[in-house]
Amino acid sequence: MLGRTAVASSSVSVPAVSPTVPKFLGLKRLPYNSFSTPNIKWNYTFKFIRKSSIGSRMETRASALPLKNADELIDSVETFIFDCDGVIWKGDKLIDGVPQTLDMLRSRGKRLVFVTNNSTKSRKQYGKKFETLGLNVSEEEIFASSFAAAAYLKSINFPKEKKVYVIGEDGILKELELAGFQYLGGPEDGGKKIELKPGFLMEHDKNVGAVVVGFDRYFNYYKVQYGTLCVRENPGCLFIATNRDAVTHLTDAQEWAGGGSMVGAIAGSTQREPLVVGKPSTFMMDYLASNNNCMNMYYLMRMLG
């Protein structure tokens, strides 16, 4: 439920002490916000703080704790939530030890969920990526931020007669289409330009009821202005962000500017804060708990990544 105050605990485990736990569960040093320290459990505390009637923001704190019994930890958890970028894969390369870890957890009856803030693909497209990497993962086990945007709109009964303006890529469009929502924008607006002449007035669709912003390689000034007009001038127009990540791992060669840079542009021009539906957000946690029948989610769900 959005707009509530809650506290959740989520742990990233790094066991090197148990022969039954694959080496993969030991985190490796990545260029951005992840760590490699043997026998350390990273304990993430998610604190949801009510901000408005339409959403919440989430604060995270991390602390390193010694991991004494990896098997005991695994046995105490029902659902493991894996980040994808930098945990399952980096770019198009599978990270060592992933197949063995997933097989081990499945053999012990654990539910697995794979989350990604990369909104360029739909759940179906991510399913194909998992398959290409040799991993058997169903669409129902995938929570992509592209899907999150459509799922959120469904959860609030967003009117089907209203339209969604998309600053983002194909993944968001596919998920909106599957959910039955009308949309405009996306890659189609990538080549559009604004010719600023004296007295020029840019028109926009007054029937847009939500602007969804995600990572967009074709981001331009036309999209900024169009999205800004919708949010500022259309009564009740929602401003939804798939994520506010500063960087993303598009390739294994370097970090790239993330979706947060696109979201920041719209936030700056509209002077509005977005409702974030990807990782981490109250919507994501509530959705996963509800769809995994895990009512006591704060104790039985753990996120790795």
- The residue among 299, 260, 301 whose CA lies nearest residue 284 is 301
Q: Which residue has the tokens 């086990």?
A: 141
Residue 33 exposed, middle or buried by CB count within 10 Å (0-12, 13-18, 19+): exposed
Say whether 195 is catalytic.
no
Tokens linked to 217 = 């390689």
Given 78, 139, 255, 273, which residue is catalytic? 78
Find the helix packing angle between 170-178 and 123-132, rounded to 10°. 120
Q: How far is it, in rounded angstroms, from Cα 218 to Cα 216?
A: 5
- DSSP per-residue string spanning 139-201: GGGEEEHHHHHHHHHHHTT--TTSEEEEES-HHHHHHHHHTT-EEEEGGGGTT------TT--
Burial 113-148 (b: 16+ CB within 10 A, else e): bbbbbbbbbbbebbbebbeebebebeeebbbbbbbb
Is-contact 233 227, C-beta < 8 A?
no
Alpha helices in the chain (DSSP H): 70-75, 98-107, 123-132, 145-155, 170-178, 221-233, 259-270, 282-291, 297-300
Contact 218, 168 (CB under 8 A): no
Amino acid identity of residue 153, one-letter, is L
Active site (catalytic) residues: 78
